[in-house]
Structure 1
Amino acid sequence: DIGDIIRGKDLYSGSNSKEKNRRQQLEQKLQEIFQNIKKNNKKLTNLTDKQIREYWWEENRETVWKAITCSAGSNTYFRPTCSHRDGKSQYQTQNQCRCDDKNGANADEVPTYFDYVPQFLR
């Protein structure tokens, strides 16, 4: 859902006025941040607000994922993300994310691409 918030596609707008106000404040801050990014990078000045948000998320999604998951404790809830070779069971990625580059070719990649699946389907 963080990707949806960053990209301006979050479906949840808040259940009460206090939450809605927080969401509006967050959106204002994000707009300021993205305008500063455009202003400070001449290559991005012609991008629309939507395009700059998508650009930032594409550039930073892996770092955001690692920041959230790589230091999460073992008692933190994670769903199984990998299928076992026997095809009968599932397990979590080692250390909740794929920060350890020694486990294979895709070891340092974000293990899920659900951030591009529409929210109402997740």
Structure 2
Amino acid sequence: MARDLDIPIDVVACPTVREPDGLALSSRNVRLSPLERQVAPRLAAILFATAARITSGAPVEATLDEARSAIAAAGYTRIEYLELRAEGDLAPIQTLDRPARLLAAAWLGDTRLIDNVQIPSRSGAITRTAA
């Protein structure tokens, strides 16, 4: 987007910083009730499991549907999006034929949580980054 809009900045990607239980660090986390805070790390766990399944060759759409069901079953009240996108331009992709990101936004009570997991390639390792 910065390149398309000819904005003279460099966008530097960096790993997501996470709590020890896997929840992505965010100022929004303070809005979670104690019970919601216990549920919140499930989003990251589901994303990492989904990324691993897609990397191992599972069909993308069916795997994303299963992940949506798991997110809802974990207690998230609304899933805004769960998508596999190309790493470079964030174009939607249906097969893992290049490096990608699994992107999610879901509501837990009144709090919107976002997260993403990098998928380097079909044979690449998926790593968790912790604080």
Whether these two folds match at TM > 0.5 is no
Compute the TM-score of the two structures, normalised by the length of structure 1.
0.29
Between structure 1 and structure 2, the one with the greater Rg is 1
Query: Higher helix proportion, which one?
Result: 1
More strand by share: 2
Q: TM-score, normalised by structure 2?
A: 0.27
